[in-house]
Amino acid sequence: MPKALKVYQALFDFDEEVRVHFPVFCGVDEAGRGPLAGDVYAAAVILPPGIVIPGLNDSKKLSEERRESLAPVIKKNAVAWSVASASVAEIERLNILQAALLAMHRAVEGLSIQPEFALADGNQPPVLPMQVGTLIHGDAKSASIAAASVLAKTARDASLRELDALYPEYGFAAHKGYGTKAHYAAIEQYGLCPAHRPSFLKKFYERQG
């Protein structure tokens, strides 16, 4: 079996082991904790047993083009899927970790079928009405979490393209809100826009001051 095939087959094999204990479970992941701008997104996905989606992997290991091509395949084949977000205002009020967990909660809550078990990427569980587990680097271990990571990332990228249309001077479509040289240069020139997270830029302004 080719190495790439083994990688994604292992993701689905992991999920089959989870289904021994929880026949209906969802994978949950977030996207956008690190950037300087934009909402934080999360997705929840329930995949059917026995499915294999070729090429599925942790969204960070996939090209943007590959993620965009996988997203509709995931949606078509999933038993249920949901994408949700927490706003910049909520990030500022709660902090980014709590906002990400809130987005995860909303994503699971938005599923058309409520699972018996939710398996979230990382080591911090969202508060949910069902049993919850966490899995560090889960997006590289579980197909359901990997699928959620793709949906969360593609949804967030789409939102940054929308922000780019509103605030073209910042280049959001190119850097997706991350702290690139070009992004910091734009902030220095134009200041902050409503999409920015002021708490993420305190150190930048301290250095400028």
* pTM of the predicted protein model: 0.94
Q: What's the CATH architecture for 3-163?
A: 2-Layer Sandwich (3.30)
pLDDT at 8: 73
Which positions ≥6 away from 36 have C-beta within 8 Å? Answer: 177, 178, 179, 183, 187, 196, 197, 200, 201
With beta carbons less than 8 A apart as the criterion, state whether 23 and 49 touch: yes
Q: Is the pLDDT of residue 21 over 80?
A: yes
Residues 6+ apart with CB under 8 A from 186: 169, 170, 171
Would you say residue 208 has pLDDT above 80? no
Q: How far is CA 33 from CA 8, 13, 70, 156, in A?
A: 25, 29, 22, 11
Q: Which residues contact residue 124 at a Cβ distance below 8 angstroms, ignoring those fewer than 6 apart? A: 97, 101, 134
Please identify which residue in the block is written with the tokens 């393209």: 161
96 has a pLDDT exceeding 90: yes
Residues 6+ apart with CB under 8 A from 49: 16, 19, 23
Query: Do 119 and 25 touch, CB atoms closer than 8 A?
Result: yes
Q: What is the pLDDT of residue 203?
A: 79
CB atoms within 10 A of CB 19: 17
Q: What average pLDDT does this structure show over 132-152?
A: 97
In the chain, the N- to C-terminal Cα span, in Å, equals: 57
